[in-house]
Amino acid sequence: MDSRTLLLLEDDDATAGFLADNLTADGFRVVTASGAGEGWRALELRHPALLLLDLGLADGSGLELLDRLRAADGVASRVDPALPVIVVSGRASDVDRVRGLARGADDYLPKPFSYPELVARIRAVLRRADGRSRRGAIRVGDLALDPLTRKVSLASQPLSLSAKEFSLLQKLASDPTRVFLKADLLREVWGFQVPGATRTLDAHACRLRRKLAGSARPFVITVRGVGYRLTEEL
Ligand code: CA
């Protein structure tokens, strides 16, 4: 039984009540909020393990809250920018799904959803987050990297990467199928965001892709106009 706290940000009372009742019955602690402002305060005060986010909120867009969350520095705001987020939304088109994921959601479930599927996805996202926070070696297909020794291998053959190439790879591998925005990669790997800096990022991504080209799996995939993801679904 997983007794971690979930923040449920949902402005539809019937949906919120149904989810809160059932998730509580399944052992989670559930904190609810019905608007973006109230949701942000709950993020700061309650430190949930996962956010279930409705996109259409009365006092602001859920996507804007997601942007604000991912841009948090994790210190001043006391909100964890890496908090796992599952978007649960009535906007069910592929475009909306891609947009939600590109903006940093860990998963996206269109309404109407099946409750057992939602619970399975919550557990899967929490498990993935646990794996990330252990800071152990990361393995994606035949690629392996060890954050402690900074060693990287592909099909058991050691690879030589520059410090920035390693940092970029580590960031992408922290969530292998997530699309990372260029601005986020620049900020987190280089610590800055200036006009023209995307060329630096693109050059590093290109070199990294060449070095990983020996795998059957495509690595360092360009998502045009958005950013990069390490690989396709496993
Ligand atoms: Ca809504």
DSSP one-letter string for 106-135: SEEEESS--HHHHHHHHHHHHHHHHHHHTT
pLDDT tens series, the chain, 234 aa: 567 899 999 999 999 999 999 999 999 999 999 999 999 999 988 889 999 999 888 787 888 899 888 887 655 566 777 789 999 887 767 777 777 777 789 998 888 899 999 999 999 999 888 766 555 677 788 888 887 778 899 988 999 999 999 999 999 988 888 899 998 899 888 887 666 788 899 999 999 999 999 888 899 999 998 999 999 875
pLDDT value at residue 76? 52
Q: In this structure, which residues have their CB less than 5 angstroms from ion ligand 1?
A: 11, 54, 56
Residue 195 Cα to ligand 1 midpoint, Å, equals: 36
CATH of 139-229, one of 3.40.190.10, 3.30.70.20, 3.30.470.20, 1.10.10.10: 1.10.10.10
pLDDT for the residue numbered 131:
67
Specify the pLDDT at position 75: 52
Contact 167, 187 (CB under 8 A): no
What gap in Å lies between CA 232 and CA 234, rounded to an integer?
A: 6
Question: Of 61, 17, 22, 20, which is closest to residue 39 (Cα–Cα)?
Answer: 61
Ligand 1 centroid–CA 42 distance in Å is: 18
Cα–ligand 1 centroid distance for 165 (angstroms): 41
Question: What pLDDT does 1 receive?
Answer: 59
This prediction's pTM: 0.58
Level-2 CATH architecture, domain 5-135: 3-Layer(aba) Sandwich (3.40)
Residue ranges, comma separated, of all CATH 3.40.50.2300 domains in the chain are 5-135
Å from CA of 112 to ligand 1 middle: 12
Q: Could you give the residue range(s) of every CATH 1.10.10.10 domain in the chain?
A: 139-229
Q: What is residue 147's predicted lDDT score, i.e. its pLDDT? A: 79
CA of 74 to the centre of ligand 1 (A): 27
